[in-house]
């Protein structure tokens, strides 16, 4: 009786890492290159004709939009912080002026 094999079914450890093994069913490198070349030529022709969609490149636009969103978030955070500091400064000034005013008053509850 082989004890090692009996207890191996209770072992939950892989001895080697998993591998990514994807084999496309229908892949033709020549066809892929031809489609890419067609796309580039169509973009170039559209640019020459003055078509505004001729400058369209999906990756660049997405990156630019994400940068703008991130930048606008930072600007909103900065303006919110400035607003908070301004409100705090006004409140501190108000309480300081109120304390000075109360100091000069002859009020019964301050005696």
- Model's pTM, two decimal places? 0.36
> Which range among 13-22, 79-88, 99-108 has the greatest average pLDDT?
79-88
pLDDT for 29 equals 85
Indicate the average pLDDT of the chain: 78
Task: Return the domain boundaries, the chain.
Answer: 29-110
Among candidates 16, 17, 19, 36, which has minimal Cα distance to 28? 36
Q: Is 75 exposed, middle or buried (0-12, 13-18, 19+ CB in 10 A)?
A: exposed
């Amino acid at each position: 009786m082989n004890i090692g094999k009996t207890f191996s079914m209770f072992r939950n450890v892989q001895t080697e890492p998993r591998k990514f093994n994807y084999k496309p069913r229908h892949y033709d490198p020549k066809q892929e290159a031809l489609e890419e070349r067609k796309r580039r030529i169509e973009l170039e022709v559209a640019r020459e004709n003055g078509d505004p969609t001729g400058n369209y490149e999906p990756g660049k636009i997405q990156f630019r939009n994400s940068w703008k969103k991130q930048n606008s978030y930072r600007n909103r955070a900065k303006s919110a912080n400035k607003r908070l500091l301004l409100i705090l400064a006004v409140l501190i000034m108000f309480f300081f002026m109120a304390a000075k005013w109360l100091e000069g008053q002859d009020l019964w509850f301050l005696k």
